[in-house]
Amino acid sequence: MRIDLISIFPEFYDVLDLSLIGRAQQDGILDVRRHQLREHTADRHRTVDDTPTGGGAGMVMKPEPWALALDDVLAGASGRPTLIIPTPAGAVFTQRTAEDLAARDHLVFAAGRYEGIDQRVTEWAEDGFDVRPLSIGDYVLNGGEVAVIAMVEAVTRLVPGVIGNPASLDEESHSDGLLEYPVYTKPAVWRGIPVPEVLLSGDHAKIAAHRREQQMRRTRDVRPDLYARHLARRGGDLA
């Protein structure tokens, strides 16, 4: 999978050289390319922002540097890449979104700063990209870079070969609309607190049933919204 990251702070993305995503780049599974938006400016100050048309607080990112940067990416692309624009005004990014994006060959992330990118860029980009304005949650960050890192991590771990043990993807939180069950390791009793006895029984069916019940309880208590949706789909309310 090819991933292009455009930002005025491409250094934010240095963390992607660590851990599993770093390894996947070394292994050639991911081709992550970082781009400095300011390289697509023509003035001495390399200006990327301007005042909002119509008035108001803050600054808005000028459209032209974005168009030039995106054209550059398109020039080296085959097919129609997906352009993700992180914004608190976007549709919420969920595990389903991650699954959808993980199946694509080429993702481009355009991280804005200030009050965001001139809206016309979104419209203009539809010609060459499948454009997806996405939010990682109902709160406001200073810029899109941290949201991009979260999305890149959620997406790329679903790409075959990035995670050593793909079976671990099947049972985790959100994979089937429920939160993950609590997990334990050794010792069996730690600081006076034992692990649930059933986990030591060796009875795989019993363990699976216990874990399912824990998933249901946790989801009901912590995320009643997800629990209601799960019941509506699958039934099986807790006693």
Closest distance to ligand ADE from the beta carbon of 9 (Å): 13
Structure tokens of 18? Answer: 């660590």
Residue closer to ligand ADE by CB (options 141, 207) is 141
- Give which of 17, 150, 128 is closest to 71, Cα–Cα: 128
* 177 conformational bin, left if phi > 0, alpha if psi -120 to 50, beta if neither: left
State which of residues 135, 156, 215, 219 lies at the interface with ligand ADE (CB under 6 A): 135
- Among the listed ranges 64-72, 136-144, 188-196, 215-223, the one in contact with ligand ADE (CB under 6 A) is 136-144
- Among the listed ranges 13-21, 124-132, 137-145, 223-231, the one in contact with ligand ADE (CB under 6 A) is 137-145
Residue closer to ligand ADE by CB (options 49, 178) is 49
- Among the listed ranges 15-23, 132-140, 153-161, 172-180, the one in contact with ligand ADE (CB under 6 A) is 132-140
Residue closer to ligand ADE by CB (options 149, 216) is 149
State the chain's maximal CA–CA distance in angstroms: 70
* 56 conformational bin, left if phi > 0, alpha if psi -120 to 50, beta if neither: left
Q: Which residues have a Cβ under 8 Å from the Cβ of 17 and sit 6 or more positions away?
A: 25
Q: Report the alpha-carbon distance of residue 215 to residue 180 in Å, rounded.
A: 6
Give one DSSP letter per residue of 62-102, joined into a string: -HHHHHHHHHHHHHT-SS-PEEEEEEEEEEEP-HHHHHHHH
Closest distance to ligand ADE from the beta carbon of 85 (Å): 8
Q: Give the CA count within 13 Å in the CB-facing half-sphere of 196.
A: 15
- Among the listed ranges 35-43, 52-60, 62-70, 141-149, the one in contact with ligand ADE (CB under 6 A) is 141-149
Residue closer to ligand ADE by CB (options 110, 179) is 110
- 144 contacts ligand ADE (rule: CB under 6 A): yes
State which of residues 67, 68, 141, 195 lies at the interface with ligand ADE (CB under 6 A): 141
Q: Cα 232 to the chain's mean position, in Å? A: 27
Q: Report the alpha-carbon distance of residue 187 to residue 185 in Å, rounded.
A: 6
Closest distance to ligand ADE from the beta carbon of 69 (Å): 18
Q: Which of residues 12-51 bind ligand ADE (CB under 6 A)?
A: none
Tokens 């009793």 sit on residue = 189
Q: Which of residues 54-113 bind ligand ADE (CB under 6 A)?
A: 86-88
Binding site for ligand ADE (CB under 6 A): 86-88, 135-137, 139-141, 144, 147
